């Protein structure tokens, strides 16, 4: 995880809306008898951008006040303020939203790891996702997933870690939009997006594109 907020890829409400059922005959999700901190840790571990206490409260079906208290407790725990060992990551509150970050003291080790990861080739899934963003940008995560027909969370994290994609505002529904970066142009050996090969003969008709890129309910 990068320590810079602007490098983080966002988590869209349209894509992370908590299901009203857990796939067991329509039973609602409940944290009754479950550790709230554990649930928050699990959510924050996969969150691609800072998350508000309100969104976390909605996801856990818990009062916002309890969520905020649990978040502060987790932050203190990770910092070693309660007598525990300081972790290699920290839970930061930035403009009222929370996210896990690697500690700056370990930046050299993280940078070395990321540099090693960047030396490897992108997977087919990553290239397909990158192509969708390049040709349809700006585009939401939900739209990308609809086109590919699979979950794209991990792929987006990979592309963001390699600085090939970045956030570009939000859609009318509030979903985060993604675009390619200057690093993408360097990676592809292009000077601008105008150098992209036209896909006209290979693209589906306008009616299909409109459906695939339609805002998710």
The H-or-E segment that residue 17 falls in is none
Query: Does residue 47 or residue 20 have the better pLDDT?
Result: 47
**Each residue of 88-141: pLDDT tens digit?**
999 999 888 998 888 888 877 776 666 665 556 788 899 999 999 998 899 999
Evaluate whether 130 touches 165 at the Cβ level (below 8 Å).
Answer: yes
What confidence tier does 21 reach under pLDDT thresholds 50, 70, 90? Answer: very low
Structure tokens at 201: 């003969």
Task: Classify 97 as helix, strand or coil.
Answer: strand
Q: 93: closest CA among 42, 141, 38, 56? A: 56
Going by pLDDT thresholds of 50, 70 and 90, the confidence category of residue 2 is very low
Residue 18: per-residue pLDDT: 38
Residue 145 CB neighbour total at 10 angstroms: 21
Tens of pLDDT, residue by residue over 55-64, are: 999 999 999 9
Strand partners, 165: 180
Instruction: Write down the number of H helices and E strands in the chain.
Output: 10, 5
Say which residues have a Cβ less than 8 Å from residue 54's Cβ, sequence separation at least 6. Answer: 64
**Which residues are bridge partners to 97 per DSSP?**
94
Determine the Cα–Cα distance for residues 92 and 102; give it in Å rounded to an integer. Answer: 10
Residue 171 CA, distance from chain mean position: 16
Question: Considering only CA atoms, which of 185, 119, 167, 122 is closest in space to residue 7?
Answer: 167
In order of their start, the domains of the chain are 5-107 (1.10.10.10), 121-212 (1.10.10.10)
C-alpha to C-alpha distance for 4 and 110, rounded to whole angstroms: 13
* pLDDT greater than 90 at residue 72: yes
Question: Residue 156 in 3-state DSSP?
Answer: helix
Q: What is the pLDDT of residue 70?
A: 95
Question: Which pLDDT tens digit goes with each residue over 24-57?
Answer: 334 455 555 568 999 999 999 888 778 999 999 9
Average pLDDT of the residues of the chain: 77
């Amino acid at each position: 995880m990068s320590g810079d907020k602007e490098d983080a890829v966002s988590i869209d409400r349209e894509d992370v809306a908590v299901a009203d059922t857990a796939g067991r005959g329509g039973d609602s999700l409940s944290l009754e008898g479950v550790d709230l901190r554990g649930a928050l840790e699990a959510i924050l571990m996969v969150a691609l951008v800072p998350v508000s206490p309100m969104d976390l409260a909605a996801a856990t079906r818990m009062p916002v006040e309890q969520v905020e208290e649990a978040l502060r407790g987790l932050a203190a725990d990770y910092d070693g303020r309660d007598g525990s060992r300081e972790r290699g990551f920290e839970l930061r509150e930035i403009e009222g939203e929370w996210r896990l970050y690697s500690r700056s003291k370990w930046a050299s080790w993280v940078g070395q790891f990321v540099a090693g990861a960047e030396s490897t080739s992108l997977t087919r899934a990553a290239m397909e996702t990158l192509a969708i963003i390049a040709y349809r940008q700006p585009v939401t995560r939900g739209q990308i997933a609809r086109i590919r027909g699979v979950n794209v969370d991990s792929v987006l994290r990979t592309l963001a870690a390699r600085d090939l994609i970045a956030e570009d505002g939000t859609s009318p529904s509030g979903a985060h939009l993604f675009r390619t970066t200057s690093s993408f142009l360097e990676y592809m050996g292009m000077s601008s997006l105008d150098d992209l090969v036209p896909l006209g003969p290979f693209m589906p008709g306008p009616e299909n594109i409109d459906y695939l890129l339609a805002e998710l309910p």
